[in-house]
């Protein structure tokens, strides 16, 4: 690989983590603290009353009017918010990842690597190597396109041919909720109990704690630590 490189930037402070494990651990802690999760329940509709108070209707037949609703449904937010007259400019950028069991540890990267030229990232997750890339504009289509997977595998094979058996890769596809300026939308709305936390694009895991901090400050009516909110819908 050395022959193909002209240089790189090493960020010593960078870390990688398994977002699924973190989400499960967080869920367990929150459940212990009394939070109720409604899994396998879809929000069918948001509706406002004459006092601009928004209610949530779910597929479980519930009709809830909570003190606060934070819409954080990524690309699906657009359709749900439209009937309330809120237009969020969020577009799906479809990407793929492969997670490969590492067979030869010395031939797999130890640190997270971003190949800027080819827009592919490599992250070591313990005994596994995760390779992610592609940005396809195909709407809300979540089907795995095998030709895109093969292209990603080929990139990985070129760079780390002996790291693992790419034929054993676990395949995944997801939609990055992209905004025009690449900034998330974390904002209130004209409805007193309705908030937005959408559009973290290619960095939703990285930006999750910061976004949560911003939305919790806004919800409580507290000043943001960095001053003016730069994540408004108006400036998206």
Q: Which residue is nearest to ligand FAD (CB)?
A: 204
**Is residue 187 a contact residue for ligand FAD (CB under 6 A)?**
no
Q: CA-CA distance, 233 to 213, in Å (whole number)?
A: 17
- Of the candidate spans 83-91, 92-100, 154-162, 220-228, the one that interacts with ligand FAD by CB under 6 A turns out to be 92-100
**Least distance (Å) from ligand FAD to the CB of residue 101?**
19
Which two structure tokens, joined as six digits, stand for 134?
């592609």
Q: CA-CA distance, 193 to 157, in Å (whole number)?
A: 50
**Least distance (Å) from ligand FAD to the CB of residue 3?**
27
Q: CA-CA distance, 22 to 24, in Å (whole number)?
A: 6
Please provide the size of the chain in residues.
236
**Least distance (Å) from ligand FAD to the CB of residue 208?**
7
Task: Tell me the sheet residues that pair with 222.
Answer: none
Task: Please name which of 204, 178, 200 lies closest in space to residue 22, comparing C-alpha atoms.
Answer: 204
- Of the candidate spans 23-31, 47-55, 152-160, 169-177, the one that interacts with ligand FAD by CB under 6 A turns out to be 169-177
* Residues in 20-49 that interact with ligand FAD by CB under 6 A: 42-43
Task: Please name which of 62, 30, 68, 31 lies closest in space to residue 45, comparing C-alpha atoms.
Answer: 62
**Least distance (Å) from ligand FAD to the CB of residue 72?**
5
Binding footprint of ligand FAD on the chain (CB under 6 A): 42-43, 72-74, 76, 80, 95-97, 121, 132, 174, 176-177, 200-206
């Amino acid at each position: 690989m050395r022959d193909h490189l002209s240089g790189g930037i090493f960020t010593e402070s960078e870390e990688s983590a398994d977002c699924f494990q973190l989400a499960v651990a967080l869920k367990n802690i929150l459940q212990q603290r009394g939070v109720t999760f409604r899994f396998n329940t879809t929000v069918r509709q948001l509706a406002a009353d004459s006092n601009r108070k928004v209610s949530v209707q779910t597929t479980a037949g519930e009709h809830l009017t909570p003190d606060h609703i934070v819409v954080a449904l990524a690309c699906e937010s657009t359709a749900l918010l439209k009937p309330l007259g809120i237009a969020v400019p969020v577009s799906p950028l479809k990407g793929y990842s492969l997670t490969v069991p590492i067979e030869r540890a010395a031939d797999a990267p130890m640190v997270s690597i971003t190949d800027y030229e080819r827009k592919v990232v490599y992250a070591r997750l313990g005994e596994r190597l995760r390779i992610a890339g592609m940005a396809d504009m195909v709407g809300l289509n979540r089907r795995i396109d095998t030709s895109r997977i093969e292209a990603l595998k080929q990139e990985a094979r070129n760079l780390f041919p002996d790291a693992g058996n790419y034929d054993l890769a676990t395949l995944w596809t997801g939609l990055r909720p992209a905004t025009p300026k690449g900034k998330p939308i974390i904002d209130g709305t004209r409805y007193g109990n309705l908030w937005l936390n959408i559009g973290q694009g290619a960095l939703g895991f990285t930006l999750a704690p910061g976004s949560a901090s911003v939305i919790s400050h806004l919800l409580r009516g507290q000043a943001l630590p960095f001053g003016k909110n730069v994540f408004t819908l108006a400036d998206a």
